[in-house]
Amino acid sequence: MAKKKVVKSSRSRGWRSASTSDRYELYELAVQGTEADCIFIDRVFRQRRNRSPHSLREDFCGTGLLAREWVTRRDSNTAVGVDLDQAVLRRGRERIATLPAAARSRIELKKGDVNEIRTAPADVLVALNFSYFIFRTRAQLLEFFINARMGVAAGGMIVIDAYGGSGSWATGEEERSLDGFTYVWHQARVSPITHDVTNHIHFRFPDGSEMRRAFTYVWRLWTLPEIKELLVEAGFRSPAVYWEGTERKSGEGNGVFKPSRLGEACEGWIVYIVAEN
């Protein structure tokens, strides 16, 4: 789970270890697929609005990788990232400092709670990699969507994601071998009664070292109908689930997400959900 990206190795394996690695860098490499996210956002916005989006707010931005990708895509693009964690924002700002000056002037990372901070309404507000699953009651998730809507311009959109499938109800580990390290998604606790889940990310290295519990998430595993209903309660319109197509040969996801009403009962899926303001 939490995987959207196949990393192509340009260096020989075995060059990383737990003590020399930065967990935020490994997270970006293993989990985030921001180029694909931006292409998706552009395509859906153009389809629905007949123009390109320019301003983006990234909630739960972490290091702001998506916001950075966004401002480098078009000279007219601007981005605001919001996160609570000063340490992760510092890391993000260090990366922003390496962008060309023109792009640097169009991005800002703000420290704050997504439910409290007020920003100029954006064409698109994104909250990806299931970050909003931290809200574990209906009232809390509704509050988040209501606050998020205040950050979206009239005619703008919210873009979030969700995961599920039969495998999301099982405990256990799933490994993926990447560029000099192994990414481990560990579903440690799953409650069928509360839908509360505890997931960890571990990183393992060729020298046998491990960064255990590099990240831990205590979430509610929300279902798609619940999310769509709460988006509408918060005032968003036309929530739609974008389901990933399947590569015929491998049976794996093909990275192409299209609106779907029914989906498919498979072991693991990740979707985008888009709703309009």
Binding site for ligand SAM (CB under 6 A): 31-32, 60-62, 82-85, 88, 113-114, 128-129, 131, 134
**196, containing H or E segment:** strand 196-204
- 18 or 82: CB nearest ligand SAM: 82
- 60 or 236: CB nearest ligand SAM: 60
275 contact partners, CB below 8 Å, separation of at least 6 = 157, 158, 228, 231, 232, 236, 237, 238, 239, 240
Is residue 159 a contact partner of residue 272, using CB atoms and an 8 Å limit?
yes
Amino acid at 58: E
- 42 or 143: CB nearest ligand SAM: 143
CB of 126 to ligand SAM, least distance (A): 8
Burial code of 86-105, b = ≥16 C-beta within 10 A, e = fewer? eebbebbeebbeeeeeebee
Is residue 241 a contact partner of residue 259, using CB atoms and an 8 Å limit?
yes
- 84 or 102: CB nearest ligand SAM: 84
Strands (E), 88-151: 107-111, 122-127
CB of 30 to ligand SAM, least distance (A): 10
- 104 or 110: CB nearest ligand SAM: 110
CB of 28 to ligand SAM, least distance (A): 8
- CB atoms closer than 10 angstroms to residue 151: 22
CB of 152 to ligand SAM, least distance (A): 17
Is residue 18 a contact partner of residue 210, using CB atoms and an 8 Å limit?
yes
Listed residue (127, 122, 128) closest to 155, CA to CA: 122
CB of 87 to ligand SAM, least distance (A): 9
CB of 111 to ligand SAM, least distance (A): 9
Amino acid at 210: E
- 140 or 254: CB nearest ligand SAM: 140
Pairing status of strand 107-111 against strand 172-177: unpaired
Residue in the shown chain whose Cβ atom is closest to ligand SAM: 62
